[in-house]
Amino acid sequence: MIPVPPQDQQAKLLELLNAAFTRADRLEAEAARARALFDRLEAALLAKAFRGELVPQDPNDEPAQVLLDRIRADRAAAPKTKRGRRSSL
């Protein structure tokens, strides 16, 4: 036989369980809202980073396009390395 608590204790336990579930539901909703805010913040930070708005910009820095053109020219002028097949032993 399974022992069953008296009716008044059952009611008190039910109240405690309902309160715990209510708190858990509230925490779950808060976590979902926080996650949505975090996603928006992450997107905003990335957008600012790509626009160069996160740190002060130095007007003496060369434009990105000039840097990219220089990198391409350096790569084109560099000697090509041979990529051969590995010999299997």
Instruction: Return the pLDDT at 88.
Output: 64
pTM: 0.49
Reported as a single tens digit per residue, the pLDDT across 13-72 is: 999 999 999 999 999 999 999 999 999 999 999 999 988 888 888 888 888 899 999 999
Reported as a single tens digit per residue, the pLDDT across 57-74 is: 888 888 889 999 999 999
Q: What is the mean pLDDT of the chain?
A: 90
Instruction: Return the pLDDT at 51.
Output: 86
11-44 core/surface letters (b: 16 or more CB in 10 A; e: else): eeeeeeeeeeeeeeeeeeeeeeeeeeeeeeeeee
